[in-house]
Structure 1
Amino acid sequence: MTNSKSVVILGAGAWGSALATLASTNGHKVHVWSRRGSKTLAEVLEGAEIILSAVSMKGVRDVVSGLKSLSLSPEIIFVTATKGLDPQTTCTPSQIWQEAFPHHPIVVLSGPNLSAEIQQKLPAATVVASSVISAAEDVQLVLSSHRFRVYTNTDTLGVELGGTLKNVIAIAAGVCDGLQLGTNAKAALVTRGLTEMVRIGLHWGGKQETFYGLSGLGDLLATCNSPLSRNYQVGYQLACGKTLTEILAHLQGTAEGINTTKVLMQRSKQQNISTPITEQVYRLLQGEVTPRQALEELMLRDIKPEYH
């Protein structure tokens, strides 16, 4: 293939592996680095043109500091595919990457992308966002195929927040299904969840239309309706009477929504943003309320107009 790129994927979990498959199927030279692997970061990164990070939120800072100690080509494009918030600073992954590498383009990849379906070669779409549009277009070319449609966007923060905030709503959606509350209840919850995501996203600097796109509404629908979603599973199993400790002991991979809920509560209190669904998910995860009480609290809120 002409214009083949050298792509390094950081993180060998389900998501990193799915992205590696997409890029290598397109004829790019792909290396996957894992903390447990035998190769060092320096060895894997030799000749890299695109570095794509698919590590969990808690691993982001370690990976960033590992890369900072190396001499990297100024041409390298960084792509972050992590959905979460930093517990220390409440920053998004792209903000951490941009602060560490201010002169490199940073691209955010986010969308309704359940990795198991992508590995099964089922059709999907995603968004790559960057303030440097040529960098987003380069990543678009590396990953696009007739099965995986990649759109570009310039609202980096909005695209990233869509993927991060929807994990909290997915926990609530899992609870709704676990309690067998029906389609009406679930539709109401997901719709009000989107309203909450937009409210937070606008407050933090994202653009409204982004949240109605693939990385917002699209990802929300996928995660709130699929047993493949780890965050949905957390809510579902809590509603079925399991404890959070039990659930996490058997969960494969990270349910980023748990940490995101904590960070979100802290930040929305500081900034006085109304986040009723997040608040009930937080209380549920803390063991302050039962799943049923959490949903009843939402139903008993003061009546008001749908839009202000």
Structure 2
Amino acid sequence: MTNDKTVAILGAGAWGQALANLAAANGHQVRLWSRWGTLSLEAVLQDADIILSAISMKGVREVVMQVQSFPISPDAIFVTATKGLEPDTTCTPSQIWQTAFPHHPVVVLSGPNLSKEIEMELPAATAVASNIPTAAEAVQLVFSSNRFRVYTNSDPVGVELGGTLKNVIAIAAGVCDGLQLGTNAKAGLVTRGLTEIVRIGTFWGAKPETFYGLSGLGDLLATCNSPLSRNYQVGYQLAAGKTLTEILTHLQGTAEGVNTCRVLIQRARQQNIPVPITEQVYRLLQGEVTPQQALDELMLRDIKPEYH
């Protein structure tokens, strides 16, 4: 008996393409859809066992509505591999998919996965998370290989938020390296950044331990230390004196951290959650402070215990 699945991948950017290659290498039938491709969305979705979305945050809602208008296999599992928050609703991608398809399992795929390295077949690990363990296990089997290790997780909110919130800290890490502040400063920044992520994430219902796993600390380390990370590049180039508009015009792909930061600040201010690093990244992106002023603000905060 063969266990080959039909996998529909929505979004043919670097990340969608990398995931498509992983599933195809495992012998699954993969169909790739993009707005500019030749295959229609209906044809790609037909009888698909797994529908994976790797589109950027701003396109999620629109694509979800399009998918709703086509017949979907009753047993289809939805997988979301998008990192970001919707500006108007502050919803995560999985919340948008789950609301649209309440009777289908939704799995979140997130980890320290720079798509360029996966394309080069370098080893990597990721997490797939769902409230329905069998759905996460099915997705794990489709993408696991000897170069891509997939772990299951039962905290989809935490896995999704880890991958989303770390993008803001990655911008700060880029600034840190761009200003040549050294290893000590960077280690301090990333550690305090993780504290901030845990603080926000647990407030939104995630389990704190999830943020010490692949989709939290793992993704944070990858994104804060790699010039391949678009969010890191934004921070690095801001430190070099470029304007945000200038940087985003020349950036290949989307730096989701820019939008995430705005949404996050909105939520944090409403709920009175202290997020000093995110606050300074926001002010920097708004052009209210220079990279150096943002750093000074963080260093001059009131002294306090490390743990409350």
CA RMSD, 1 decimal: 0.7
Offset at residue 109 of structure 1 (A): 0.1
Structure 1 residue aligned with 2:29: 29
Contact 2:277 2:298 in 1 (8 A): yes
Q: Which amino acid aligns with 2:128?
A: V
Offset at residue 2 of structure 1 (A): 2.5
Structure 2 residue aligned with 1:131: 131
For 1:106-138, what per-residue CA distance to the aligned partner results, in whole angstroms no more than 9, with x for missing partners? 000000000000000000000000001100000
Q: Which runs of 5+ in 2 are unaligned?
A: none
Structure 2 residue aligned with 1:74: 74
Structure 2 residue aligned with 1:200: 200
Offset at residue 82 of structure 1 (A): 0.2
Offset at residue 74 of structure 1 (A): 1.3
For 1:210-248, what per-residue CA distance to the aligned partner results, in whole angstroms no more than 9, with x for missing partners? 000000000000000000000000000000111111111
SS in 1 for 2:206: coil
Contact 2:47 2:72 in 1 (8 A): no
Structure 1 residue aligned with 2:282: 282
Q: How does 1:46-65 map to 2 (within 5 A)?
A: 46-65=46-65
SS in 1 for 2:150: strand
SS in 2 for 1:61: helix
Offset at residue 88 of structure 1 (A): 0.7
For 1:9-39, what per-residue CA distance to the aligned partner results, in whole angstroms no more than 9, with x for missing partners? 0000000000001000011000100011122
Q: What CA distance in whole angstroms lies between the structure 1 residues aligned with 2:208 and 2:68?
A: 34
For 1:12-67, what per-residue CA distance to the aligned partner results, in whole angstroms no more than 9, with x for missing partners? 00000000010000110001000111222111111211000000000000110001
Q: Which runs of 5+ in 1 are unaligned?
A: none
Offset at residue 105 of structure 1 (A): 0.1
SS in 1 for 2:306: coil
SS in 1 for 2:176: helix
Q: Which amino acid aligns with 2:92?
A: T
Contact 2:80 2:108 in 1 (8 A): yes
Structure 1 residue aligned with 2:221: 221
Offset at residue 295 of structure 1 (A): 1.0
Q: What CA distance in whole angstroms lies between the structure 1 residues aligned with 2:38 and 2:121?
A: 29
Q: Deviation above 6 Å: which 4+ runs of structure 1?
A: none
> Within the alignment, does 1:256 sit opposite 2:260 as a pair?
no
Q: Which amino acid aligns with 2:93?
A: P
SS in 2 for 1:121: coil
Q: What CA distance in whole angstroms lies between the structure 2 residues aligned with 1:34 and 1:274?
A: 39
For 1:232-280, what per-residue CA distance to the aligned partner results, in whole angstroms no more than 9, with x for missing partners? 0000000011111111111000000000000000001111100000000
Q: How does 1:52-131 map to 2 (within 5 A)?
A: 52-131=52-131
For 1:266-304, what per-residue CA distance to the aligned partner results, in whole angstroms no more than 9, with x for missing partners? 001111100000000000000000011111110000000
Q: What CA distance in whole angstroms lies between the structure 1 residues aligned with 2:254 and 2:156?
A: 23
Q: What CA distance in whole angstroms lies between the structure 2 residues aligned with 1:281 and 1:298?
A: 11
Q: What CA distance in whole angstroms lies between the structure 2 residues aligned with 1:49 and 1:214?
A: 26
> Within the alignment, does 1:189 sit opposite 2:185 as a pair?
no
Offset at residue 90 of structure 1 (A): 0.2
Q: How does 1:3-14 map to 2 (within 5 A)?
A: 3-14=3-14
Q: What CA distance in whole angstroms lies between the structure 2 residues aligned with 1:268 and 1:47?
A: 42
TM-score if structure 2 supplies the norm length?
A: 0.99
Q: What CA distance in whole angstroms lies between the structure 2 residues aligned with 1:113 and 1:23?
A: 15
Q: What CA distance in whole angstroms lies between the structure 2 residues aligned with 1:196 and 1:245?
A: 27
